[in-house]
């Protein structure tokens, strides 16, 4: 799973880009992106931010803009379909800012990520590096190496819907996401069946994710490691926008998630075992 500018700037950029699309005359010379470099940007808004089940914020307004670029190093190979290199940035801005007086209070998180992904037949595998940083000094920098594997099982099984299963492994090499005493190892299993609605003008995904600690990822402050972290069941509705192809692919999305938290993550969430999260977003790919 691989999502990350100031809130006002992000909103302004989105409005400016939308205005340009509405006001610019389209000519025959405008062409869709046919090159080897692809760009992706957007933002999500929510009322709560949980990272792998760990509560970050549960009140106020949250804006999470992101941008990344992917260079296709190989395309159209036999067996090995493609190899891509991605670099990007993800941010989280909170209206109820917290942190020290030495940093911008609302800029809670700024993540840098990069990695390689390859497609082999209907499999996709990737390895990545991510640095989770806090400009507001709300937490210490965490660095991790990620490994992921996904399967496009469309037409492979006898099921009426493809499950799109994936697994992910995250190894902390410096710092701890849970603020514990030692670096940990996180493991994730998930599926995301989906289908089109309204003749393809809408899409509905039903992601289900299980997050676990293989080693010291969810430490309870003592010597105990909770293996079960969380279970996340979601409904995500996507609506492509009618924007000329030469301006990329635009999509609005809305989601609702219900988290079931393990014992330690429940304690971090003020004793609440269940947590509902809603979100709205806009993504632009070119």
Separation of alpha carbons 259 and 247, rounded Å:
36
Supply the pLDDT for residue 45: 98
Cα radius of gyration (the chain): 20
Distances in whole angstroms, Cα of residue 189 to Cα of each of 1, 35, 150, 240: 11, 33, 10, 28
Burial 216-235 (b: 16+ CB within 10 A, else e): bbbbbeeeebbebbbbbebe
Residue 140 has what pLDDT?
93
Each residue's pLDDT tens digit, 47-56: 999 999 999 9
Tell me which residues of the chain have a pLDDT lower than 50: 1-30
pLDDT of residue 92: 97
Delineate the domains of the chain, giving CATH numbers in brackets.
7-24+35-285 (2.40.160.40)
pLDDT, residue 114, reads: 98
The closest of 180, 179, 186 to 209, measured between CA atoms, is 186
Cα separation, 89 vs 40, in Å, equals 11
pLDDT at 29: 45
Its pTM stands at 0.85
Task: Decide if 158 contacts 126 (C-beta within 8 A).
Answer: no
For residue 8, give the 3-state DSSP assignment.
Answer: helix
Q: What pLDDT is stored for residue 20 in this prediction?
A: 34
Identify whether the C-beta of residue 40 lies closer than 8 Å to the C-beta of residue 285. Answer: yes
DSSP calls for 49-78 = EEETTEEEE-SS-EEEEEEEEEEEEEES-S
Nearest C-alpha neighbor of 115 from the set 91, 145, 140: 145
158 to 25, 161, 192: CA distances (angstroms): 48, 9, 16
Q: What is the pLDDT of residue 160?
A: 84
Mean per-residue pLDDT over the chain, rounded: 87
Task: Give the whole-angstrom CA distance, residue 141 versus residue 132.
Answer: 6
Residue with tokens 């996180």: 186
């Amino acid at each position: 799973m691989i999502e990350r500018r100031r809130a006002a700037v992000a909103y302004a950029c989105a409005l400016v880009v939308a205005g340009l699309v509405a006001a610019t005359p389209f000519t025959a010379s405008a062409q869709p992106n046919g090159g080897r470099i692809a760009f992706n940007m957007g933002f999500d808004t929510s009322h709560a931010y949980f990272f792998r089940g760990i509560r970050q914020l549960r009140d106020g307004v949250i804006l999470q803009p992101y941008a990344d670029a992917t260079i296709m190093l190989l395309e159209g190979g036999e067996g090995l379909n493609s190899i891509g290199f991605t670099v990007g940035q993800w941010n989280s801005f909170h209206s109820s800012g917290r942190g020290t007086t030495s940093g911008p209070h609302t800029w809670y998180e700024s993540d840098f990520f990069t990695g390689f992904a390859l497609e082999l037949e209907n499999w996709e595998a990737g390895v990545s590096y991510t640095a989770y940083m806090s400009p507001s000094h709300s937490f210490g920098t965490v660095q991790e190496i990620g490994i992921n594997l996904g399967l496009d099982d469309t037409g492979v099984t006898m099921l009426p819907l493809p499950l799109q299963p994936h697994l992910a492994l995250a190894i902390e090499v410096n710092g701890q996401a849970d603020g514990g005493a030692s670096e940990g190892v996180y493991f994730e299993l998930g599926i995301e069946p989906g289908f089109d609605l309204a003749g393809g003008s809408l899409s509905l995904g039903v992601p289900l994710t299980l997050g676990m600690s293989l080693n010291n990822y969810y430490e309870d402050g003592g010597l105990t490691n909770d293996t079960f972290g969380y279970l996340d069941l979601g409904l995500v509705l996507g609506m492509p926008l009618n924007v000329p192809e030469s301006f990329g692919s635009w999509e609005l999305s809305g989601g609702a998630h219900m988290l079931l938290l393990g014992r330690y993550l429940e304690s971090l969430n003020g004793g609440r075992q269940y947590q509902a999260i809603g979100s709205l977003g806009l993504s632009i790919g070119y």
